[in-house]
């Protein structure tokens, strides 16, 4: 079991010197496998059909906040956990492994209980985060002329992402076929910025931008620094990232591909050894006019993870909108745990209780129950700073695409500084403490409230 406290209880155990993609539905580490599973939870849809899912059991603790423990997957639509070891749970968070259903929180997690996952059915309704685009939302070419690099876990390109250019390492082959129906971390980051087949509720932020993708996933043959890897607890092991691959990809995107922005939805809360080369690669990016936008991390620490915490990066924390999604959705559970509230243009928002805050958090972005599509249909809702970061990256790309002064600048540190300052100028205050939200929330409008 791992204890994930509320933001008011930040004294969490240190991370190992490893790096991981951020953005798990609940960021946690797997404890010892429960061998004596004696409680079964059934996962169904509204028509009583089986929904394959993973699950996290939620246990309240008055001293340490909220605890989570991984449930074991059994047969299709069945989750197991041991009540003897963990006591009576407060609830369970269920993550459907197939498209079309909301991540669901159920208060009743007793033996034999059934969790109903509501369907995602909002194809014609824009998400609340799309309001940040203002008039740009009607332009299908928004972001055109800006080159965005993304380094993340590998995936197979599918509908809506045909324009993404994959950069391969020598001898590497990216996935040609999807590995099951569940979303891939790198795939979702790309879809948030540029899914050209998505319906209105999942519309990309910068569909006109040029996207370049590099996988930092590893194989036994390519792995160089095994002890620096961070295992993603709720995802298959192939989502682990090698920081040396991240560094190599950043350098290539800067020197060979001449990108304007790089999105890194990954990091570590511990110091990363210099031998990985990632710090040097980020310094190179800044010197060549490339701004690196990073996820702040999905633990309520009072500082952002590396590399988001660096002065030459933009660290992005996550916020949500109160009342968004179904009553049983993860978004509603997150808002109930949040201790920081704000308001933007009359809409109540909250700071994600699983987001880092404080030092290194420069801005915030929507990162709770964000909808993404698959094959042109609403498919998944995702939560984490991993998905707040590409929303911010996309918003900045849309703005810079119309900034003639920026486009005319030489590729040096002054251009990176201009982009960073422009992002700060776009931000509005939400009412959340400045220590938590940095400059605030980017909003592409001429009038600030």
Instruction: Return the pLDDT at 96.
Output: 92
| Helical (H) or strand (E) element with 442 | strand 441-442
For the cut 60, the answer to whether the pLDDT of residue 6 exceeds it is no
Banded model confidence at residue 52, pLDDT cuts 50, 70, 90: confident
133 and 238 fall within a common domain: yes
141 and 83 fall within a common domain: no
Task: Please state the φ and ψ torsions of residue 93, each to the nearest 5 degrees.
Answer: -105, 120
8 CB neighbour count, 10 Å cutoff: 10
User: CB–CB of 330/369 below 8 Å?
Assistant: yes
* Cα four-point dihedral sign 206, 207, 213, 215: positive
Copy the structure tokens of residue 187: 């795939």
Residue tagged active-site, from 136, 242, 386, 399: 386
Banded model confidence at residue 173, pLDDT cuts 50, 70, 90: low
**In a domain? residue 438:** yes
Q: Find, among 177, 160, 235, the residue nearest to 386 by Cα.
A: 235
- Range list of H helices, 311-428: 330-337, 385-401, 404-408, 413-426
133 and 100 fall within a common domain: no
Copy the structure tokens of residue 40: 């079964």
More confidently predicted of 12 and 284 = 284
Domain boundary among 101, 119, 137: 119
Grouping H, G, I as helix, E, B as strand and the rest as coil, residue 262 is: strand
The rounded distance, in Å, linking the Cα atoms of 249 and 251 is 5
**In a domain? residue 352:** yes
**In a domain? residue 273:** yes
Q: Packing angle between helix 385-401 and helix 413-426, nearest 10 degrees?
A: 110
Q: What is the pLDDT of residues 81-98, one digit of tens each?
A: 776 555 567 788 899 989
Q: What is the pLDDT of residues 313-327, one digit of tens each?
A: 999 999 999 999 999
Q: Three-state SS string across 174-228, please?
A: CCCCCCCCCCCHHHHHHHHHHCCCCCHHHCCCCCCCEEEEEECECCCCCCCCHHH
Instruction: Return the pLDDT at 194.
Output: 98
Q: Packing angle between helix 385-401 and helix 185-194, nearest 10 degrees?
A: 30
Domains in the chain, number: 2
Instruction: Return the pLDDT at 237.
Output: 40
Banded model confidence at residue 25, pLDDT cuts 50, 70, 90: very low
Domain boundary among 119, 139, 158: 119
49 and 198 fall within a common domain: no
92 and 216 fall within a common domain: no
Residue tagged active-site, from 105, 136, 185, 225: 185
Active site residue 174: no
114 and 156 fall within a common domain: no
101 and 212 fall within a common domain: no
Copy the structure tokens of residue 193: 């910025």
Instruction: Give residue 65's domain range.
Output: 38-119
The rounded distance, in Å, linking the Cα atoms of 350 and 85 is 33
76 and 225 fall within a common domain: no
CATH assignment at residue 216: 3.40.50.200
pTM of the predicted model as reported, rounded to 2 decimal places:
0.88
Over range 109-136, report the average pLDDT. 90
Q: Find, among 391, 386, 376, 390, the residue nearest to 99 by Cα.
A: 376
- Range list of H helices, 239-277: 243-255
387 and 246 fall within a common domain: yes
224 and 330 fall within a common domain: yes
223 and 256 fall within a common domain: yes
**In a domain? residue 332:** yes
Residue tagged active-site, from 27, 152, 312, 399: 152
Active site residue 83: no
For the cut 80, the answer to whether the pLDDT of residue 133 exceeds it is yes
Conformational region of residue 431, where left means phi above 0, alpha means psi within -120 to 50, and beta covers everything else: left
Domain boundary among 71, 87, 119: 119
**In a domain? residue 4:** no
Q: How many CA atoms lie within 13 A of 326 on its CB side?
A: 17
Most confident of 19-28, 114-123, 345-354: 345-354
**In a domain? residue 20:** no
88 CB neighbour count, 10 Å cutoff: 10
Cα–Cα distances in Å, from 326 out to 18, 102, 316, 366, 410? 36, 8, 26, 17, 48
Q: What is the pLDDT of residues 57-80, one digit of tens each?
A: 776 655 556 667 777 877 678 888
266 and 355 fall within a common domain: yes
Active site residue 82: no
CATH assignment at residue 110: 2.60.40
The rounded distance, in Å, linking the Cα atoms of 35 and 117 is 27
**In a domain? residue 399:** yes
**In a domain? residue 387:** yes
Q: What is the pLDDT of residues 331-357, one digit of tens each?
A: 999 999 998 999 998 999 999 998 999
For the cut 90, the answer to whether the pLDDT of residue 147 exceeds it is yes
């Amino acid at each position: 079991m791992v204890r994930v406290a509320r933001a008011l209880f930040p004294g969490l155990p240190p991370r190992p010197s490893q790096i991981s993609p951020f953005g798990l539905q609940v960021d946690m580490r797997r404890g010892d496998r429960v061998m004596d599973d004696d409680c079964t939870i059934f996962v169904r849809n509204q028509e009583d059909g089986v929904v394959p899912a993973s699950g996290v059991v939620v246990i309240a603790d008055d001293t340490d906040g909220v605890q989570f423990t991984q449930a074991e997957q059994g047969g299709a639509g069945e989750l197991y956990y041991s009540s003897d070891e963990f006591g009576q749970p407060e609830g369970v968070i269920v993550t459907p492994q197939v498209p079309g259903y909301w991540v669901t929180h159920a208060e009743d997690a007793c033996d034999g209980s059934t969790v109903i996952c509501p369907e995602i059915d909002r194809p014609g309704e824009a998400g609340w985060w799309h309001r940040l685009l203002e008039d740009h939302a009607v332009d299908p070419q928004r972001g055109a002329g800006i080159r965005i690099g993304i380094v993340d876990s590998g995936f197979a390109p599918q509908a809506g992402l045909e324009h993404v250019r994959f950069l391969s390492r020598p001898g590497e082959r990216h996935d040609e076929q999807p590995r099951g129906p569940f979303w891939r971390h790198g795939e979702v980051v790309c879809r948030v910025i540029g899914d050209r087949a998505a319906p209105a509720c999942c519309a990309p932020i910068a569909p006109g931008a040029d996207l370049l993708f590099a996988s930092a996933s590893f194989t036994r043959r390519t792995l160089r620094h095994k002890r620096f890897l961070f295992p993603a607890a709720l995802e298959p092991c192939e989502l682990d990232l090698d920081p040396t691959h991240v560094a190599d990809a950043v350098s290539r995107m800067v020197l060979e591909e001449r990108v304007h922005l790089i999105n890194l939805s990954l990091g570590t809360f511990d110091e990363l050894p210099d031998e990985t080369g990632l710090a040097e690669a980020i310094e190179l990016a800044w010197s060549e006019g490339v701004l690196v936008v990073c996820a702040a991390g999905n633990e309520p620490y009072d500082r952002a993870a590396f590399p988001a915490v660096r002065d030459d990066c933009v660290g992005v924390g996550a916020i949500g909108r109160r009342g968004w999604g179904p009553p049983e959705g993860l978004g509603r559970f997150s808002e109930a745990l949040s201790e920081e509230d704000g308001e933007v243009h009359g809409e109540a928002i909250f700071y994600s209780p699983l987001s880092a805050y404080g030092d290194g958090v420069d801005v915030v972005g929507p990162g709770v129950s964000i909808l993404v599509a698959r094959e042109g249909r609403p498919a998944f809702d995702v939560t984490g700073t991993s998905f707040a970061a590409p929303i911010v990256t996309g918003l900045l790309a849309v703005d810079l695409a119309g900034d003639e002064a920026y486009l005319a600048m030489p590729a040096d540190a002054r251009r990176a500084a201009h982009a960073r300052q422009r992002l700060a100028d776009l931000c509005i205050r939400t009412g959340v403490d400045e220590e938590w939200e940095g400059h605030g929330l980017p909003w592409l409008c001429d009038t600030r409230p």
